[in-house]
Chains A and B, each alone.
Chain A
Amino acid sequence: MATSRKVTLLSSDGESFEVEQSVAVESITIKDSIEEGSAGNPIPVPKVNSKILAKVIEYCKKHVESAKAEDRVDDEDLVAWDADFVKVDQATLFDLIRAANFLNIKSLLDLTCQTVADMIKGKTPEEKRKTFTIRNDFTPEEEEEVRRENQWAFE
């Protein structure tokens, strides 16, 4: 097997991560800057701190490995791994969404967005507020107006 190229990623808080290039280019943002020749060495990743960058790298590694595996990793196993991967606190989840968006990693963005959507499904407005600690800033009159405009969706 040929020696795979490695690149170094630098998180916003100054920590370095050495990864295989094949893993790094799961991020289209990084892939583009490498191809353009504009990537520094190490490649700075602003807006993404070391904790989140470590998670993102973990995700990309797993997905690159399972695509390459000679005995194909069971789809179901990968789905289970993904489900475990997103069992994090909300703040981390939102940071992962931001990172996946900035780094342009579609599958991670889809996964994290779906996870948040799953937290929203089936809840009443009050339950949703509680889940995400959102304050209701409607006056009773404004709330009544929203209900009336979209009558069909509210009992």
Chain B
Amino acid sequence: MEEHLSYNSSNPLGFCLLPSELIQSILLNLALPEIVGLKLVNKTLATVISDQTFVRECNTRSSSAAWLFVFKKRWSKDAMLMGFTDRSASNRWFKISIAKILEPVVPPGEVFYFLTASGNIFLFACNRDKEVMAVDLMAKTVKKVPPSPLGPRGTSSWRRSGMKLVPGGPPGSGRFRFLFAELVEDRPTLFVYDSETDDWKRMEAEETEGRSRSRGEGLDGRIFLHLVNGPGSNVIISCGSESLSPLVLRPGFSGGGNQGREPNGRLGWDYSANLIHVYGDGHMMIVKSSDGDAARKRTRFLERIEIWGSSEDGRNWEFVSEIPRSLVGQIEKPYGVLMGCLEERGGIIRACLVSNCEGAWDMIWLSYDKARGHWAYVPIPDSKMTGSNLAGISFSTGLNL
């Protein structure tokens, strides 16, 4: 028989009696929102979690973590930011409360769209007033980003532009830079906002055609903003994270050794309407779906998925990898991909493919590790978004305490 079964409240079971390093070892298995949630349990745990060394360790793990954030809305009230991480610790969606932070600053009836996030900073576009708000989750502040040199922009304009939010200082400092790309009089132009100086810089990107590359100028560590995305025409601005020097990349499928051959022809040369393209960070994911059989005509199924990346000189799309058939088989459910988002960070490409089947949203997270050549499928639990609108989706790093 077991001893120690007396749940006498004056003799609490050992959890809080464990040495704090052991409590911390246990907590490090949890996702950050869960760890912070434990602060409410009792004072011992609140103290253990506030310990500086532990906080540093949490932050280190968090900044290399991958999170998917989704903003769901049912009418203009009832908007909810949700986050999911692929770390085995969780496997559920976490609700991120932003309403209280936004309320004081934003007029009632304003409609938001979630643009992008990085660390603790989350950017929202306000549809009515055509403003951009930067929410700092930890500082609980909202900063209005002044209009760019292009003037106030509505949500649909923002959704068209390639954009990126990057840290502008040490993690947790609240400093950030917001970059986006737009065609101004047909010329690819880079716009950069710096929260430190609270103003915008505007730089026309330099064409790479015929330009000789200086030694050591590769594409690593550069930021990519996808500007024009369409079959036969892709324009990307690539810039450095510190010294911008924006360049124009125009990758295409002309010539080169990448020619597909039927029937295993690469999807890159398939111009049929059955394809969805998802772009991000200098890469493109091509998704081919096929119709179900005659009885299930209205459902579609994933058939093939390929990843392509821009060549170093920005002239060609280069084939990176195709998802193994066995993995496609694992994602068995009917799946009509509508759209998605893609990021590349630390040599890992992550894509979220979103489908909506009769009002029910579904999301698939796929990862490809370039160095190991390894694909992974991360099942995402039901987001319980049926009947809601998806008002923005983006990958990001974890939060910083």
* Residues in chain A within 8 A of chain B (CB atoms): 88-92, 94-95, 97-98, 101, 109, 113-114, 116-118, 120-122, 125, 128-129, 132-138, 143, 146-147, 150-155
Contacts and interface: CB of A to CB of B under 8 A. Distances in A.
Interface of B: 2-5, 7, 9, 12-19, 22, 25-30, 33-34, 36-43, 45-46, 89-90, 92, 95-98, 100-101, 137-138, 140, 399
B9 A133 contact: yes
A117 B37 contact: no
A136 B42 contact: yes
Contacts of A129: 41-42
Contact of B27 (A109, A117, A152): A117
B37 A121 contact: no
A97 B26 CA distance: 10
Given A113-B29, A117-B26, A136-B41, A90 B98 contact: no
A131 to B, nearest CB: 9
B98 A117 contact: no
B39 A97 contact: no
A14 B18 CA distance: 24
Contact of A151 (B30, B46, B97): B97
Given A109-B25, A152-B138, A146 B40 contact: yes
A120 B34 contact: yes
Nearest to B24: A113
A117 B15 CA distance: 11
Contact of B36 (A113, A118, A153, A155): A153
A135 B25 contact: no
Contacts of B34: 120-121
A113 to B, nearest CB: 4
B41 A155 contact: no
Contacts of A153: 33, 36-37, 96-97
A125 B15 contact: no
A59 to B, nearest CB: 17
Contacts of A128: 38, 41
A117 B87 CA distance: 13
Contacts of A121: 30, 34, 89-90, 92
Contacts of A152: 33, 96-98, 101, 137-138, 140, 399
Contacts of B42: 129, 134-138
Nearest to A120: B30
Contacts of B17: 94
Given A109-B25, A117-B26, A133-B7, A151 B140 contact: yes
A113 B25 contact: yes
Contacts of A89: 2, 4-5
B37 A154 contact: yes
Contacts of B41: 125, 128-129, 134, 136
Contacts of A88: 2
B14 A94 contact: yes
A137 B42 CA distance: 6
A153 to B, nearest CB: 4
A101 B22 contact: yes
Contacts of A98: 18-19, 22
B9 A135 contact: yes
Given A91-B13, A117-B89, A129-B41, A154 B29 contact: no
Contacts of A91: 3-4, 13-14
A114 B19 CA distance: 16
Contacts of B3: 91
B38 A122 contact: no
A146 B39 contact: yes
A155 B90 contact: no
B258 to A, nearest CB: 38
Contacts of B29: 113-114, 117-118
Contact of B26 (A92, A113, A137): A113
Nearest to B43: A137
A146 B98 contact: no
A133 B27 contact: no
Contacts of B12: 132-135
